[in-house]
Amino acid sequence: MKIQVKQGNGLEEAAQVVVVTVFEGVTKPTGFLKEIDDRVNQQLSTLIKRGIFFGKQDQVLTVHGVYDKHAFSVLFMGLGKKETCDYVRLRHIAGNASRAAISLKSSEVSWIVDAELSGSFDAFKLGQSLTEGFLMGKYQYTTYKSSDETTHISGLTFSLDSGKIKNEFTRGHTKGIILAESVIIARDLANAPPNVLTPKHFVEEAKKTFKKIPSVSIEVIDKKKALKLGMHAFLGVAQGSVLDPYMLVLSYNVQKKSTPICFVGKGVTFDTGGISIKPAAKMQDMKADMTGGASVLAALYAIARLESKGSFMAVIPLVENMPSGNAQRPGDIVTAMNGKTIEIINTDAEGRLILADALCYAVSQGASQLIDIATLTGACSVALGSAAAGILGNNQNMIHRFEEISHFTGEKVWQLPLYEEYLELLKSDVADISHCYEGREGGTCTAAKFLEQFVDKTPWVHLDIASVMMYKENKGYRVKGMAAEGVRNLIEYACQPALLK
């Protein structure tokens, strides 16, 4: 897809669809808006006067016109009230615009950024937000469709009213492309069928992704090496499957004496629940139980493309959780890489086991900060619905930084407690710790408390994204299917990591 930024009125492009934004309360088109209105025979003015269109949030008006013998459609997108419009709303508006253009069978789109819009926002963030929203909103997973009749947008031009903002807008726009591409990488992985995206195939996809990015090195810890490292919590989950497990390690700018910020992502390529098998209903969605792994892979991709400062590492434990004659049993005891013994209570609480060894490995590599992300607990959905991911950790500065970032990205997080009382619920009579609590209360918090036992004293944050694993409908930049929510939070954090005391 060709994307460019130009100065002009937008009608000079051979676009089939022109996108124009309008704040709520408009009474008369002025400036660029008037010029566009003139080209469509004052249809906008007429509909404003009649009270049919007034720029209300998410209101879309489609009109048609001709310019220099070129027929086109105009999408007037309502922004809502200027004083409450933010970058999250802009992304949603851009996502709606991309799908509206697709519905109009348009392959070429021109987006007019007039003085009123550019004067209301920081030019860099404006360029980033509009680009991210548009590209994420047009996402479609059609890999396995034998017939795809959907129109695909091949060109997008941002036409700027003012040349003064072009440089900053273009810089933001470039970053927006990279972040959107990263989200799409993670969405493609999460949407892929589990018979295709096995642990081995995930490793192959990682190698393909970073083939032309030499700043990222790849290490693959196989079953033999994991056994030598003492990763029995990780290996125990994998033993029920015929597919071999892998611990994938991605490193960016990591030298011998580096203390990298380390992302750890859960990579269960399919989760049946193991011996503690899940109910059949919606089990197909468990193909996305590797979204955390996909998210940290995508984050490293963006970090490298953006040439971020500092050193970063991603550790992705990849397994399939299956029931078989070799499967892990409730009542088994395994030993993690740090020497802690773990009593297995429910084999459907497998994610925390593979993360335990992944966190231990990150600590052994000198991680200065740990951020793990996982579709970990259904309890997170009970607590937060589908509005936000849960965030917990041992460092409040890091948590606050993620909260601040989420206000810009729209990937909401909500802090849950990590009280010592939760550790009491994980006591075992036969091992150092039991890996889950079978009661109904505090499921997300006890899971995080378990993970905390494997981070040593490293500053650490845990993101439970089970509540935001998938979108149920198209809305703004959110497209029905697996969400890959959290990718942009990780990238923005990497761009400006929290300052620790």
Active site residues: 278, 352
CA–CA separation, 437 and 465 (whole Å) = 20
Distance CA 56, CA 44 (A): 14
Buried b (16+ CB within 10 A) or exposed e, 227-248: eebbbbbbbbbbbbbebbbbbb
- In eight-state DSSP terms, residue 497 is P
In Å, what is the CA distance from 212 to each residue of 206, 209, 215, 293? 11, 8, 9, 20
How far apart (Å, rounded) are the C-alpha atoms in residues 459 and 318?
Answer: 24
* Partners of 337 in beta bridges: none
Which amino acid appears at position 279 of this protein?
P
The angle subtended at Cα 419 by Cα 368 and Cα 428, nearest 5°, is: 95
Alpha helices by DSSP H, 192-249 = 199-209, 223-229, 232-238
| Helix or strand (DSSP H, E) at 404 | helix 396-409
3-state secondary structure of 183: helix
The 10 Å Cβ neighbour count of residue 143 is 11
Contact 427, 450 (CB under 8 A): no
Contact 240, 268 (CB under 8 A): no
Q: Copy the structure tokens of residue 339.
A: 């020497």
Residue 177 and residue 127 in contact, taking contact as beta carbons nearer than 8 Å: no
Backbone angles phi, psi at 313, to 5 degrees: -140, 145
d(CA 399, CA 281): 35
CB contact set of 142 (below 8 Å; sequence gap of 6+): 148, 150
Element (H, E) at 269: strand 267-271
Structure tokens at 478: 């959110």
